[in-house]
A and B are shown apart, each in its own frame.
Chain A
Amino acid sequence: MKNKRFAIVLDTDRCIDCKACTVACKAENNVPLGPDNYRNWVVTGKLRGKYPNLGQSYLPSQCQHCSNAPCEHVCPTKATTINPDGIVHVDDAKCIGCKYCQTACPYNARYYNEETEAIDKCTFCTQRIYAVPSQLPACVETCPTKVRAFGDLNDPESEVSLLLARNPSKVLKPALGTNPHLFYLD
């Protein structure tokens, strides 16, 4: 059987910047309290224009699960690896907390977890997606307006495959060649 290749597709037009995803993730993954500790986030976009002609966008994001991941390349202890299912994984036991990966990540997706004494970041909620019965990642499931869709890109019938087949999309910072697996619908 072919490996899975997990991805998230986001429709940011629906995002209302309510931060449900951030809190759900913190609760699900025991992310320590503190405004600087998070595995996912929503960027409240800069206000466009001048009063009264204003606009604003909201950009939810997290680890991009790149298949050419700078964090993996720089890790001196091979604590960061890419699983066969595409999930970029940090082995807490191997992590020495040098934070090289944290600075290498172009998406600022990593933080140092004082409690586990290791670098931490989005895992697509591995513990949920491989549970029996399986659950969606916490951020995907909880979202009021269902901004995110999660699934297997190697399955052409999955929601993510269909969304990408039917809609134009983009990735963040494509010029870096990181090959991210978070896709944003145009």
Chain B
Amino acid sequence: MSSLKSKHISRRRFLGLSSCALTAAVVGSQVTVLKALAKNGDVSHTTTLPTQDVLTSCGMCVNKCGVIARVRDGVIHKLDPNPEFFVKSRAMLCARGNAGTKVVYDPDRLKYPLIRVGERGEGKWRRASWEEALDLVAKNMQDIAEKYNRAAVMFASTEGTYSEHFFIQLAECFGSPNTVRHPTLCLSSNIQGFGATFGTNPTPDVLNADYIIMSGANRAEALMTPDSIDLLTGEGGRRKLIYLDPRFTKTSAKADEWYPIKPGTDMAFILAMINVIITEGLYDDDFLEAQAVGFDKLVPHIQQYTPEWAETECEIPAKHIRRIAHEFANAAPKAVYYQGRRSSFFANDTQMRRAMAILNAIVGSWDTKGGMIPNDCIKLTKHDYLAPYYDDVPYRLDNDAVAFLSEKDGSWPIFRDRALAADPYPIKGMLVYKQNVLVSVPDRAKSLKLMEQMDFICTIDITMSDTAWYSDVVLPEATYLERLDPLECLGGAVPVVAFRQPCIEAMFESKPNLWIMQQLAKRLGDEIYESFDFTMEEHIHHQVKANPQILEDLKTKGVYYEYTEPKYGKLKGQRLKTKSGKIELYSERYAEKGLDPLPVYSSPEQVPSNKYRLLVGRHAFFTHGTTANNAYLHDIMPENTLWLNPVEASRMNLRNGQMVKVKSPVGEERLKLEVTEKIRPDSVYMAHGFGVLSKGLSNIHGKGGSDAALIESKYCPISGNSAMHETFVEISPA
């Protein structure tokens, strides 16, 4: 056999072809040609596998950008942006989107079902058939239901894959109220704060705004479509961007003004802006008169929050706060205080978001060009199903723990505490769909304890995440480039329906989520399976029953939309989804619940001496804790570092590049120190997604440190959102 190298086969091409040979053997098509290929390594033959362009959507993060997959001889050669997707993704793909081929052709991919044979976390597995693995999962679910209750099986799910709905459906049909999802690690306080004010969490019209203020919403790195793109390309010349962040990020580099605000004091800045705008009569009187309630109560409340007072809290000079307030009010209504997305910083987060919403409201930045736009969505026919009724199922475990808990999402930190205390009942089984609990939920040690107390854990994923590593059964899901997924409306100022269809057949023995759910449902009983008795094609046709044009457009363009520019004034004269039907500056609902009806400021805990506040944050290369092991992305960022200001480094006698120990009340990690001016002296920062436990992630195992291992599990008492900036750490040489 001639060497591969002499044939000039690139690593990538070889991996693609050899993996394909496996798939073909499994599905039993094109076997002859490919077997010959696999034997002599010769690629000069033309294969008969398809060469085509497939319209689909990206699955590397939640944005779901439009993709054209260039499939050559059955191998996905390249992912290109779909220009038709301009309305949402602005016809681009980021580094992650472009790295998608390395998700499919990843040597670390889960290839077949695995059953644990060693201790949990020991990494000893045996390959199992789907039949055996599914039987084992179903049996354990039933055993736990029998021994305790159906509610004793928890379902932890990722969000934004299009397919998680079937997982949630299985939980409901099985009879467990205990689904725990991503929002309380992300934007639930945001949704709550803006929702309490506007009845919705609106979309800032970044493209048309003349004045944008961002608090920690690092849009040049934490990419959101179309905001990140519009921020740089919109009416760029005329727009002003004010950016508040304790770190100098790439958004800072693009901002007109950057203020390294003291962490946890954003609300002081916002309240002082409201104070200036009200005191100087710069608010939109007519707008408030017609569309808002509670202004009379806001006026006396805001008097205490002067710019001079705010300066002492947030360390931004009063004269700048005053000037920014003037500029903001002058630019209004084409001015937005951008709420960002991830908001789980401090325990007062919901009230901080309320303050943001109120500031936008008083200048009339609502339902108008360049302001806050109420979201719109394209209607798809819902897939109704009848979940069996069980009369002995209790309320969800974290019921009533906070003022406003999302019924399907729960609150991760609270849920985990109660599960550990079996309060009010035990949780003994854990089904996980692609959520990487050990990386995403603060206080990893506590999550490990939670897993330890489980009788049974099954994880569905595409790679051996840390969570999968500590499971009993691991089931391989087909990747986003191998699945037909349900249609989904991506809501926003300009909503679209996105489409995901398989570009190649699912490799190895991986299966789409729906198939896995159906197989489990079958084993759990006819009553449960009844609601899963459909094909994905039937499901999609049902979704477009009222408007078949949606599917036509998706097939030909890869996207469906009804208009390309935001519609302004669409809610004019209509009742909002608030108690009063108007914008609520003063919230009656909060008052009824015993919460502050107007945002009341309280100072964040001071950083103790010789400690630093640990900050988290995003960059453009990874999505949460899921993509750091991707080969292309790993080339860009092979490990994380701990950022420390040079003044502190010199005081502590620490050198750039040396290993340091970072210790918090809940954990200790080691990673390299990066001495940089890009951070406040009282804070340190590390990127997310490193310091993994799983040896199944071969590129990143043993690299960097885990932020989840250090962050304490504090939370917002209104929304249940994790408060990720309330942990103090000590640093010492490692």
B-facing residues in A126-158 (Cβ within 8 Å) = 135, 138, 141-146
Measured CA separation A51–B101 after assembly (Å): 40
B-facing residues in A1-42 (Cβ within 8 Å) = 14, 16-20, 22-24, 26-28, 30, 32-35
Which of B5-13, B182-190, B198-206 is the contact stretch?
B5-13
Measured CA separation A143–B90 after assembly (Å): 10
Determine whether the beta carbon of A135 is less than 8 Å from that of B80: yes
A144 surroundings in chain B (CB, below 8 A): 90, 92, 94, 223, 228-229, 232
B94 surroundings in chain A (CB, below 8 A): 18, 20, 142, 144
CB within 8 Å for A47 and B98 given contacts A115-B5, A116-B8, A145-B229: no
B10 surroundings in chain A (CB, below 8 A): 30, 32, 115-116
A52 surroundings in chain B (CB, below 8 A): 258-260
A54 contacts partner chain B, Cβ-Cβ < 8 Å: yes
Determine whether the beta carbon of B638 is less than 8 Å from that of A35: yes
A142 surroundings in chain B (CB, below 8 A): 80-81, 92-94, 97-98
B228 surroundings in chain A (CB, below 8 A): 16, 144
In the complex, per-residue mask of A47-74: 1 if CB is within 8 Å of any chain B CB, else 0: 1011110111110000000000000000
CB closest chain-B residue, reference A143 = B92
Determine whether the beta carbon of B233 is less than 8 Å from that of A145: yes
B241 contacts partner chain A, Cβ-Cβ < 8 Å: no
CB within 8 Å for A51 and B260 given contacts A18-B95, A27-B98, A144-B92: yes
Q: Which of A27, A54, A141 has the most CB of B within 10 A?
A: A27
B98 surroundings in chain A (CB, below 8 A): 20, 23-24, 26-27, 142
Name the distance in Å between B13's Cβ and chain A's nearest Cβ: 6
Measured CA separation A74–B233 after assembly (Å): 41
Determine whether the beta carbon of A19 is less than 8 Å from that of B80: no
Determine whether the beta carbon of B78 is less than 8 Å from that of A47: no
Interface size of A by CB at 8 A reads 39
Determine whether the beta carbon of A16 is less than 8 Å from that of B92: no
Name the distance in Å between A56's Cβ and chain B's nearest Cβ: 4
Contact among B97, B232, B678 with A14 in the assembled complex (CB-CB below 8 Å)? B232
Q: Which of A50, A92, A145 has the most CB of B within 10 A?
A: A145
Determine whether the beta carbon of B635 is less than 8 Å from that of A33: yes
Determine whether the beta carbon of B12 is less than 8 Å from that of A16: no
CB closest chain-A residue, reference B65 = A144
B620 contacts partner chain A, Cβ-Cβ < 8 Å: yes
CB within 8 Å for A141 and B81 given contacts A19-B621, A56-B253, A57-B253: yes
A23 surroundings in chain B (CB, below 8 A): 95, 98-99, 632-633, 636
Measured CA separation A16–B227 after assembly (Å): 13
CB within 8 Å for A30 and B632 given contacts A23-B99, A24-B93, A55-B253: no
11 new A-B contacts, CB < 8 A, other than A18-B223, A23-B99, A27-B99, are: A18-B221, A20-B92, A22-B636, A24-B98, A32-B11, A35-B636, A47-B678, A50-B677, A55-B253, A146-B92, A146-B233
**What 6 A-B pairs come out closest when comparing CB atoms?**
A18-B620, A23-B98, A30-B10, A16-B220, A144-B92, A51-B677
Task: List 29 contacting pairs A-B, 8 Å CB cutoff, sorted by A.
Answer: A14-B233, A16-B220, A16-B250, A17-B620, A19-B620, A20-B97, A20-B98, A26-B632, A27-B98, A27-B632, A30-B10, A30-B12, A33-B11, A35-B635, A35-B636, A47-B248, A47-B677, A51-B248, A51-B260, A51-B678, A51-B679, A51-B680, A52-B260, A54-B258, A54-B677, A115-B5, A116-B10, A144-B229, A145-B92
